Structure 1
């Protein structure tokens, strides 16, 4: 351990972060900044805002809890990692600081990863304690022996922030002590933990912020990257060290359509995001959309092509510097390729740029020769490299080496070309690793999982790049051992055990894996995965060609048949909204006000091209058929605020068969009309639509989010009209208690006034891109906070997404229900329970409730094959 004698943590200011700070350790600098900015917001998420003083107090509580748990064990804190399992929120930042302050290496866990996988990380690290919160306590209990939630008791006295600062400095660390352990994928089926010391993190902060000018002190950083990965944990600590404000936005919980307004609301001048997220944002903005106010956009993790770079530059304007970066968990940031002003954008794959200050790049040939120019395996040398593999000295020695001058060298697995000017272009991986959605994947880890399944004889997973876009998808080649399993079953096994980005996009069944004459796997002989079972046909008219191009752009496919189903190709409700927005933006006469309902009815290029030019407009634009098959009474599904009914299509398709499912959405959302300005009015309009389809009860009604409240009000109105409501299902909705509904936060009064003005224009003034849906979303939240009703006496099912941050409030339905009701929790978050794979359990619950079953504790996972479909059709 080091000595911090003489360290000052006075709160009257802090010096600009410099390279010399990298000689120390993290906590004195973080404390300095937090004391200097005691009254200023340092970290914020949609639900909380932590000033420097708040951060010190909350981190000190975490530190005290961790120290108390390990007291008397006799073990050095450095040898005992502590896990952190929270969401992408301010509390996670405080927990990370608190664990490091206790002297223990922190292992940040990703809450979207299956518990079995998280337990593997915890066991590999040797941790027995996890710091969590109420929303994730059950998962935390599955992965570690002990769970600590320092915020569990809100009445607990919090220390004075100056005392908290002193407590955070009570366990000094040496610069080469391990601060965090970040797990990466392993080629042998076992993940590798990279142990990162204080010195390397401090230097990376200087390089990423001041050394390159990306986010100096005073910046407002929109932070979208998961903290469990190196790309997310470094800016988390870096923002605190540099004196920037972190504004946390979780793109896995919130649609990217909200990002543009979020950036404006928080006044962000720096955006940290993956290329995949940026693609979604640019698509949501439309061709003329802009992201004003940004000074820097940084992206890393996968190849960025010239066309994509040009689109980003158009959106951010010439004043913003766009930085394409390259790094690894073992090295942190290695290179940067900045483009600003009128700099000419490169064609094809964008270079990853020049070595950052303090680093030297070389390429290594197959014979081990290292060159300062040429093509080969990329090698980095720096005196700031401190990484090593946790408890794996043999693996460390394979890629790290110490040099006589005190520097260290790391041999990456990337192959690149280093130009005479020192600029690096990446060509691929020296092994078989691939990057999926910006995250490194070792396919061998997926192979190992599939090999362990009793119905699989052999398996091989590879990445297949698209010839046009260069983007990579995972393909699993499987040799069954006996009857061939379903492709969905193969994917389900992977999804249950590994993170979502490791789930193969395609599954190909073979009689045997191809091999060379020497018996080695012949990867070059693997067949291409089939795209679709529909007959392949190219566009047959200029109009079909235009629609075809928009399908390809939204689905990010190189080609498809005009008969391929949009949803079978991976399209979801957000992609559908983007498609409709793009089609309408073309300005073709007669092609306006399409609505996603038209895509639900005509999901192929051929049928959609005809449908959007049809003069027969939908007389009920609030009604969207989600499933037309079946003879039973229909189920009416009400969409949430700002959401097209198409968002409920996957849920509808997963319900047990035998009856139609009809979606309901807000008036004006996808037609030219003024919106309804109360939950009661929305419900009245929907009741009229419902009774046109089904004049008399009994009725089956369900709704998601705000749609749950609308469904409740519909049930109330139908009952008052003397009609029978057989079933009301409420899917992850706040109760009709305005005190429980979230209240929007504004930077200042002007921002609040602007928001009010924008809200008043909902459905009246056109908005670029998908901003129209965002306005309806905000309008729906406004209505939600003003709705109350009488206690409902009918039969009701309430489904709550257990992993959502608002799960606690959404559970509190009991005071509002007096009849037979059940409140059941399902894994997932607010939006993820509408999509695969999380949608299976809500669909099974709803199917059972429709059948009148009382026992909902064990649900059928694959409801599409349930034997009760015929019975339900007769009811």
Structure 2
């Protein structure tokens, strides 16, 4: 095979799009495509959240109204507006309104700790924040002018468009990802690649009138933009759900069934713990945010379209996608989206098929760079010697090989970046936060396989400075500074950090199981396993799942290192053991051994009483 074949492109032409008045088709933007869809399906339901419905026409009017408010406050191209809202119809209205105003949005999750919220608002250099009265107190940044959605102004009902004048090269959003220096990186994404993304993905998601797309990703992650754009640019319905209803496992399965979802995209960790059967409406399942394994394909591909997508925030969400996968399919990164180019290079040299190199991405989807970090931008966004003059490539840091059958295969990373439960994590950011704790002198963060199987855990290895390095205290310390997905599941205290002969931290010496699985314990008080009371049963399940020996009645599942995925596994095991329905919210609302155990006893008594009243 010729070396030139190690570069692959799906074409560089811009996809067709309805034009703006007096402008060529190439200049259409996402919100303009949305407005064109509104003219085609004005009365169709665009957004659904419980009993609330917004038609395309009402969504268009509401977002126009808010866009005019933002324009009065100075919203213009290149300005950033913070969006501080939970998943809700108001959040969708706001994102559209910001784009219509010409400005760019910066999503900030209200669930983040106060320090993180303040940091992102300041790093984004936002002047305005769109939020609600109830949430305003959580974003304490004096320089921000609040726009309260539950306090509209008197003249917001005037007709007419918002008058935004953004161009494809202008910013559409700035989304922050984990940063290796301890400072989060804001990725500045212009409009140009987002239209390409949406028009490529719509047919793959089988989106259109009658389709129902689940808005699964948090608004603070770029995957949410794909869900929104695929639905609203095709005439489909974007379906929102409460956070508890999106928890992996039985809750998510029930939500998919109840909302009659036709297409969903989730990380592999979610697909692993969620059952695929009993979902007659589900036509398309897309694995994104982590490696797709054969077991996932086997579970989810029967009777539906199963795809594997790959991309980075720096390249407008998604760069490659596979053809439909079936049992036995070779799982690769797939082929590039339209207008995207991929290169496998070694020191700038194209490598042969089968040879490993770093994956570079080019095309319209490449972001402008990292917000206010020019040196980092220059290092990762480099001139494209293979494309048109002025083009750039993004160095992904992923190792890959070009396969003879026309795909790309992921091999690993050239740095320490990891993905845990679908989240991209720079261990350096977590280490930097740990080093601000008074009791920590050194800190190294790694990943290791969970002793009970499943997804990797994030593990913190710390050397104490003075005082104790209690895991619960360190977890609480980080919880005040970092979002939940950056907090390690396990904290290990070392007397000293292992080093190589060259004096660098020996990460290989830190590898291996964090804990040996605890030895089987005889049931307390001599009871057979089937007769354990609620608290005893919870303790035994947690011991195995969390690999923690000492568990007391008031220990909290999440403080012991549990996460949402492990919560789903925990509840599934309790259901299996007891033979009765155990809602996930039982654990979420009562996360200690005592609370959960006592609630299990209540559920068991209620179920037995009902069976006695209705035998057979």
Q: Which residue of 1 aligns with 2:139?
A: 140
Check if 1:511 corresponds to 2:495. yes
Residues 287-323 of structure 1: CA deviation (Å, up to 9, x unaligned): xx4211111111200122212321223xxx42x1011
1:371-450 paired onto structure 2 within 5 Å: 371=351, 373=353, 374-403=355-384, 405-406=388-389, 407-450=391-434
Residue number in structure 2 paired with 1:248: 240
Q: Which has the larger radius of gyration?
A: 1
**Superposed counterparts of 1:724-739, under 5 Å:** none
Q: Distance in 1 between matches of 2:229 and 2:543?
A: 34
How many residue pairs get matched?
A: 577
Residues 121 and 21 (structure 1), Cα distance of their counterparts in 2 relative to 1, 3 Å cut:
farther
For residue 293 of structure 2, the aligned residue among 286, 305, 312 is 305
Maintained 8 Å contact 2:68/2:101: yes
Aligned CA distance change for structure 1 residues 538 and 353 (closer, same or farther; 3 Å) = farther
Q: Partner of 2:157 in structure 1?
A: 159
Residue 419 of structure 1 and its aligned partner are, at CA, apart by 0.9
Distance change >3 Å, CA 141–CA 63, structure 1 → 2? farther
Aligned partners of 1:425, 1:538: CA distance in 2, in Å?
47
Per-residue Cα deviation, 1:612-640 (whole angstroms, up to 9, x for no partner): xxxxxxxxxxxxxxxxxxxxxxxxxxxxx
Partner residue in 2 for 1:797: none
- Give the C-alpha shift of residue 674 in structure 1: 6.2
Could you tell me which residue of structure 2 aligns to residue 194 of structure 1? 187
What is the Cα deviation at residue 187 of structure 1?
0.6
- Paired position in structure 2 for 1:577: 571
CA gap of 1:535–1:262, structure 2 versus 1, over 3 A, is closer
- SS of alignment partner, residue 361 of structure 1: strand
The CA distance in 2 between the partners of 1:383 and 1:646, in whole Å, is 45
Contact 1:536–1:561 under 8 Å retained in 2: no
For 1:206-605, list aligned pairs within 5 A: 206-210=199-203, 212=204, 214-216=206-208, 218-252=210-244, 255-256=247-248, 257-282=250-275, 289-313=277-301, 317-318=302-303, 320-331=304-315, 332-339=317-324, 343-346=326-329, 350-365=331-346, 367-371=347-351, 373=353, 374-403=355-384, 405-406=388-389, 407-465=391-449, 471-526=455-510, 528=512, 530-531=514-515, 535=519, 570=562, 574-583=568-577, 592=579
What's the CA shift for 1:280?
3.4
> Match of 1:51?
55
Equivalent position SS for 2:274: helix
Kindly state the Cα deviation for residue 562 of structure 1 after the two structures are TM-superposed: 11
Structure 1 CA distance for aligned equivalents of residues 54 and 66 of structure 2: 15
Give the deviation of 1:144 after TM superposition: 5.5
Shift of 1:123: 0.9
Deviation at 1:116, TM superposition (A): 1.1
Change (3 A) 1:103 1:509: same
Q: Distance in 1 between matches of 2:117 and 2:260?
A: 35
User: In the aligned structure 2, how far is the partner of 1:247 from the partner of 1:69?
Assistant: 31
Give, in whole Å, the separation in 2 of the partners of 1:157 and 1:167: 14
SS of equivalent to 1:673: helix
C-alpha distance 142-557 of structure 1, shift in aligned 2 (>3 A): farther
Pick closer, same or farther for the CA change 1:453–1:322 going to 2, 3 Å: same
> 2:82 aligns to what SS in structure 1?
strand
SS at match of 2:496: coil
The 2-side partners of 1:266 and 1:87 are apart by 19
Instruction: Output the CA distance in 1 between the equivalents of 2:190 and 2:233.
Output: 15
Judged with a 3 Å threshold, the aligned counterparts in structure 2 of structure 1 residues 193 and 510 are, in CA distance, closer, same or farther, namely same
Q: Distance in 2 between matches of 1:644 and 1:400?
A: 44
**C-alpha spacing 1:487/1:129, structure 2 compared with 1 (3 Å):** same
- What SS does the aligned partner of 1:360 have? strand
Q: Retained in 2: the 8 A contact 1:537–1:562?
A: no
Alignment correspondent of 2:20: 7
* Residue 555 (structure 1) shift: 8.0
Partner of 2:12: none
- Per the normalisation by structure 1, the TM-score is 0.60
Is the CA contact (8 Å cut-off) linking 1:506 and 1:529 kept in structure 2?
no
The Cα shift of 1:513 comes to: 1.1
**What is the CA–CA distance in structure 2 between the aligned matches of 1:276 and 1:234, rounded to whole Å?**
20
Comparing both chains, which one has the higher relative contact order based on Cα–Cα distances under 8 Å and sequence gaps of 6 or more? 2
Aligned to 1:683: none
Distance 2:454 2:357 in 1: 20
Task: Return the offset for 1:432.
Answer: 0.3
More off after superposition, 465-474 vs 452-461: 465-474
Q: What is the CA-CA distance between 1:467 and the residue it aligns to?
A: 9.0
**Residues 84 and 130 of structure 1 are in contact (CA less than 8 Å); yes or no, is this contact kept in structure 2?**
yes
Aligned to 1:599: none
Structure 1, residues 642-694: CA drift from partner, whole Å, max 9, x if none? 67866665357599xxxx97877458754361699xxxxxxxxxxxxxxxxxx
Change in CA separation of 1:7 and 1:307 when aligned onto 2, cut-off 3 Å: closer
Distance 1:467 1:570, change over 3 A: closer
Query: Secondary structure, in 3 states, of the residue corresponding to 1:167?
Result: coil
Matched with 1:175 is 168
- TM-score, scaled to structure 2: 0.83
Q: Give the C-alpha shift of residue 536 in structure 1.
A: 6.2
Preserved CA contact (<8 Å) 1:535 1:561: no
Q: Map Cα deviations across residues 491-542 of structure 1 (whole Å, 9 max, x no partner).
A: 1111111110111111111121111222211111226464379546799xxx
User: What is aligned with 1:695?
Assistant: none
Structure 2 distance, partners of 1:6, 1:412, is 33
Cα separation, 2, equivalents of 1:419 and 1:461:
33
Residue 382 (structure 1) shift: 2.0
How far, CA to CA, are the matches of 2:234 and 2:142 in structure 1? 33
Distance in 2 separating the partners of 1:66 and 1:400:
32
Question: 1:643–1:665: 8 Å Cα contact kept in structure 2?
Answer: no
- Tell me by how many angstroms 1:248 deviates: 1.4
